[in-house]
Amino acid sequence: DIDKIDSGEQNFTLNFYAIFRWLDPRLAHEGPGNIIRGLSDVWNPRLTLINTQRYWANTQDEVEITPAGMVTYRLHVFGDFSQPLALHDFPRDRHVLEVPVVAAGYRPHEVVLLPDPRVDSFIADRLSVADWKVDNMQGQSREVTLANGLKLPGFVFSFEASRLLHHYVIKAIIPLALIVMMSWVVFWINPDQVPNQLGVAVTTVLTLIAYHIALAGKLPDIPYLTRMDLFLFCSTLLVFTALVEVVITSRLARDGRLNLARRFDQVSRLLFPATYLGVAGWALLSA
């Protein structure tokens, strides 16, 4: 089960259960039933989850041994797993999240981790995470390369996670678009009504600033721009440009060039919506 995927913290919270088996003839016994031994009391592949940040184990470090020497080790952990995420496409991003299990201290020619042909790996049908679509769960034997270049035998559980866009459309994109559209009201107010025009323009700018503050907690803190950052920046720029247009038309109306000021407003009625549609499509939908 997956409880959470945190873009800002670059991790995900996972409820993970795995069963590992290996045959050790040295541990064969007369039985009749299975025996329990401590994990450190028998040979074991030193299985390690290498991308854990913090976790809690619900199983003991012990193994179950059949009379034939088949050893079963059960691992059940709950916690946070680190995962570097490329968030350039946020909020339309898709990621492959991995849980690598390695045989620490061994080389690929010494230990091989293989899928159990009798039991398939699986993920819960209904997950706890609400704002992501998770699918394509896989488990495969693979060498895992550490930061120092050391290769370890491993088995990697992976799944694909796609962020659900409708949450951000309803709570972020549509409100922002409405604020930008509110700034276009000034183009329909007579340029000689300066207080009314400036009142609407300044109110829109202040509303956008408050929106920035409210939205800050929902956006990941990363050192590069995402699709949402570009959309937000372009929206802010258009609102500010509308304020500048109000100042220009107000000055023209005060200088007696009212017809020219009205022509500015008429052009802006078409230019600003067309520009915003182009900007929104480029920022949110472009490849």
User: What integer is the mean pLDDT of 145-149?
Assistant: 85
- The tens digit of pLDDT for each residue in 201-231 reads 888 888 888 888 877 766 667 788 888 888 8
Can you give the pLDDT at residue 148? Answer: 85
User: What integer is the mean pLDDT of 47-73?
Assistant: 93
Q: What percent of the chain has pLDDT over 90?
A: 45
Instruction: Give the closest residue to 259 by CA, choosing from 249, 269, 270.
Output: 249
Q: How far apart are CA 12 and CA 254, in angstroms?
A: 59
The residues that bridge with 142 in the sheet, in sequence order, are 154
CB-based contacts of 212, cutoff 8 Å, min separation 6: 232, 236
pLDDT band for position 97 (cuts 50, 70, 90) = very high
Alpha carbon distances (Å) from 139 to 2, 158, 239: 16, 6, 49
The residues that bridge with 277 in the sheet, in sequence order, are none
Neighbours of 226 (CB within 10 A): 21
DSSP state of 149: S
CB-based contacts of 28, cutoff 8 Å, min separation 6: 67, 68, 69
Q: How far apart are CA 14 and CA 2, in angstroms?
A: 5
Whole-number average pLDDT of the chain: 89
Around 89, how many Cα atoms within 13 Å sit in the side-chain half-sphere?
13
Q: Is the pLDDT of residue 124 over 90?
A: no
Amino acid at 16: F
Neighbours of 180 (CB within 10 A): 22
Q: How far apart are CA 232 and CA 226, in angstroms?
A: 10
Tokens representing 191 are 């340029």
Q: What is the largest CA-CA distance in the chain?
A: 107
Neighbours of 30 (CB within 10 A): 5
H or E stretch covering 5: strand 2-6
Q: For the chain, give the number of residues.
A: 287
CA 50 to chain CA centroid, nearest Å: 20
User: What integer is the mean pLDDT of 73-93?
Assistant: 91
Amino acid at 278: G
- The pTM assigned to this predicted structure is 0.77
